Amino acid sequence: MAEYKGIKGFTLQFLSADPTANRGDTWYNSTTKLAKYSAVTTAGAWATGAALNTASGDGASCGTQTAAIFMGRVTGSGNYNTNSEKYDGTSWTATNNLGTARRSGTGIGTSTAAVVVSGQTTGGGVVTSVENFGGTSWTAGTAVNNAKRGMGSSASGSQTAMIVFAGIGASGNGTTTSESWDGSSWTATPAMNAGRYLTGGAGTQNAVISAGGNASPSPVSNASEEWNGSSWASGNTLGTARYGGGSAGIQTAALLISGGNPGVVTNVEKYDGTSWSSETAVPTGKSKTTGAGTQAAALYIGGLSPTTATFNFTGAGATLTKTIETD
């Protein structure tokens, strides 16, 4: 049998981990004992990611596809809890717990500088509690003005610059209120055009897209709104109305993943700053799921019914690592 060097003119690299590869690179991963190569995707592609340690859904998340945190969620036992897990691109690791048990809060920031805002506690009450993560442990932050669950947020914001919006409060209806954080205080910002909760949110403090959600009085919305730092304006509608989908990216390059309508949908849509269009569907749809990362490199995490499943998305035209099949 001919050797690889005899065919290609060079030897196959033996590496202990997959490298940052360019199109056409080929190597052997001595850890996984798999030969691999890199190619350019012609369409967006989903791949199974590392499993969470605890089956969960209706939590909060933030970060990137290879460095994320998932916190405050409903577990397989149905409890609202203080659990949080951090992802390093390979596996999920339990971190120190939140101070307040919750579900359906919202997350902003990075895996080492995260914020979780509001949410619902066991017993049904919504809280104004805010907690900050410094990479190791959670500490109490300044409480938000409006206690809600199912809020949207500027997930790509930071611990010192963020906005939260929409959500459901004690009244049981979707709200239009929004407020921003400047590192020292929460300030009420102009109201949204329509009240909703479990909306998808992507962007930064002064440039956000909010999409879908449960609306009042209609049950499920396909509407979107944009925040420009001073006011909310109606955007183009989604192709599929949904609530509780995962979101990733920024205002001009967002991804909205799965969700409920009221049954679960696998549909994924991407936003280019003007309009929504279809993207490759997820393998498994979930409602009350969450996301992290960018439009081109997203992480889709958990969902209800509680699950340990996560999936990685690679956008069209990106370099994708594939395994060489052998007999």
> Domain limits of the chain?
4-40, 47-314
pTM of the entire predicted model? 0.85
Mean pLDDT, the chain, whole residue set? 92
pLDDT > 90 in the chain, percent: 78
- Quickly state the pLDDT bin for 20 (edges 50, 70, 90): confident
pLDDT tops 80 at residue 67: yes
Q: Cβ atoms within 10 A of the Cβ of 65, count?
A: 21
Name every residue whose Cβ is closer than 8 Å to that of residue 10 and which is 6 or more positions away in sequence. Answer: none
Which has the higher per-residue pLDDT, 136 or 77? 136
Q: What share of the chain is helix, strand, coil (3-state, %, to 5)?
A: 0, 45, 55
Mean pLDDT on 53-59: 96
Phi, psi angles (nearest 5°) of residue 5: -65, -35
126 contacts 147 by C-beta, under 8 angstroms: yes
CB 59 within 8 A of CB 307: no
pLDDT band, very low/low/confident/very high, at 311 (cuts 50, 70, 90)? very high
Q: Cα torsion for 150, 151, 156, 158, to the nearest 10°?
A: -110
Of residues 243 and 216, the one with the higher pLDDT is 243
Whole-number pLDDT of residue 325: 64
Other beta carbons less than 10 A from residue 233's beta carbon: 11
| Span 157-168, pLDDT tens digits | 999 999 999 999
Asked if residue 327 has pLDDT above 60, the reply is no
How large is the average pLDDT for residues 263-288? Answer: 97
CA 74 to chain centre: 16
- Averaged over 278-287, what is the pLDDT? 97
Token representation of residue 265 = 């949908």
Q: Tokens for 40?
A: 């350019």
Quick one: pLDDT band at residue 9, thresholds 50, 70, 90? very low
**Mean predicted confidence (pLDDT) in 149-162:** 97
Q: Using omega within 30 degrees of 0 as the cis cutoff, is the peptide bond preceding 283 cis?
A: no
Mean pLDDT calculated for residue range 194-204: 96
Q: For residue 287, give the H/E element and its range.
A: none
- Which tens digit of pLDDT belongs to each residue from 77-117? 768 999 999 999 999 999 999 999 999 999 999 999 999 99
Cα 200 from Cα 209, distance rounded (Å): 8
| Dihedrals phi, psi of 137, to nearest 5 degrees | -140, 165
pLDDT at residue 23 is higher than 80: no
CATH hierarchy code of domain 47-314:
2.120.10.80
Which pLDDT band, with edges at 50, 70 and 90, does 54 fall under? very high
CA gap 299, 313 in Å, rounded: 6
pLDDT computed for residue 4 by the predictor: 47
Q: How many other CB atoms are there within 10 angstroms of residue 185's CB atom?
A: 10
Rounded mean pLDDT of 49-67? Answer: 97
pLDDT recorded at residue 7: 46
Of the two residues 294 and 37, the one the predictor is more confident about is: 294
Determine the pLDDT at residue 123: 82
**How far apart are alpha carbons 325 and 305 in whole angstroms?**
34
